[in-house]
């Protein structure tokens, strides 16, 4: 948990990808609280459950393919999601920092 928290706090473009987080009725408010504290954006994959209010500033919409936010994120936290992106439609980038060989995915 500490690694995830530190990675999110240090990230320039952190992203949360979720699909079913809203099935836990307490989770959307907790995700909104996290997004209020950190510059996190949220994408829902084929959202069948409300994971974050659509009027929240962090909300970037619902997609059935790879969302453009995935291509720009430097840390991706996947919460209750079975298919976070479609590799043939685009995939997460690797770090531009040569000392960092991979993207942080949790």
Compute CA distances 18 → 31, 59, 92, 97, 98, whole Å.
10, 11, 15, 27, 29
For residue 14, pLDDT over 90 is answered with yes
Q: What is the mean pLDDT of residues 16-41?
A: 95
The predicted structure's pLDDT at residue 99 = 37
Query: Which element (helix H / strand E) includes 16?
Result: strand 14-18
CB 75 within 8 A of CB 14: yes
Asked whether residue 5 carries a pLDDT value surpassing 60, the answer given is: yes
pLDDT of 97: 46
List, for residues 44-102, the tens digit of each pLDDT value.
988 668 899 999 999 999 988 888 898 889 999 999 888 777 666 666 766 554 334 44
């Amino acid at each position: 948990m500490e690694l995830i928290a530190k990675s999110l706090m240090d990230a320039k473009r952190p992203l949360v990808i979720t699909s079913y987080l809203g099935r836990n009725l307490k989770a959307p408010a907790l995700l909104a609280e996290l997004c209020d504290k950190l510059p996190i954006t949220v994408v829902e994959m084929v959202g069948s459950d409300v994971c974050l209010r659509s009027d929240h500033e962090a909300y970037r919409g619902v997609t059935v393919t790879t969302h453009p936010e995935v291509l720009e994120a430097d840390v991706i936290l996947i919460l209750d999601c079975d298919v976070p992106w479609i590799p043939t439609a685009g995939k997460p980038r690797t770090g531009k920092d040569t000392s960092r060989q991979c993207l942080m995915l949790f």
